[in-house]
Structure 1
């Protein structure tokens, strides 16, 4: 295996380990938390959608994610899947 491939593999492993979508960050979420504080904790969401003052944002992918529902800019509900 070439050094370039080894370096690329090492970078991929390091980036996966640095994901903010994890049990530690999920346990810090609280109902009523401001949206800006959630984004400081988790970074920019993968996707958001909403209407009529309610927004739903998701961080991660189909296997590992954190989903947060907001009323205005405050956390109303949150859930997670596949967190380590």
Structure 2
């Protein structure tokens, strides 16, 4: 293998290891956590929506994600799919 291919593969592995959508981070989520605490753990969400003080934010994609529902600024519920 050429050095360029090895470097590309190493970079891809490093990026995959940095993904914060994983079982370890999911296990740290707790009801009552603030949005700031969740974002410190998971980073900025891929998308958020909400109305009337209830909001939902998602990290990841359709195959692997963490979804957090907030009442005001605190975690109410959370779920995940495809976490490793």
Query: Do both share a fold (TM > 0.5)?
Result: yes
How many residue pairs get aligned? The number is 84
Q: How far apart are residue 2 of structure 1 and its match? A: 3.0
Report deviation, 1:5: 2.4
Unaligned runs of 5+ in 2: none
SS, match of residue 28 in structure 2 = coil
Alpha-carbon distance in 1 for matches of 2:3, 2:62: 32
How much does 1:14 deviate? Answer: 1.1
CA RMSD of aligned residues (A): 1.0
Q: Which runs of 5 or more structure 1 residues have no equivalent in the other structure?
A: none
Superposed counterparts of 1:18-57, under 5 Å:
18-57=18-57
Partner of 1:70: 70
Partners in 1 of 2:34 and 2:13 — Cα distance?
A: 32
TM-score normalised over the length of structure 2:
0.93
Task: Summarize deviations over 1:27-75 as a string: whole Å, max 9, x none.
Answer: 1101111010000000111111111111110011111110000011100
Q: Structure 1: which 4+ aligned runs deviate by more than 2 Å? A: none
TM-score, length of structure 1 as denominator length = 0.93
**Alpha-carbon distance in structure 2 between the residues aligned to 1:55 and 1:49:** 6
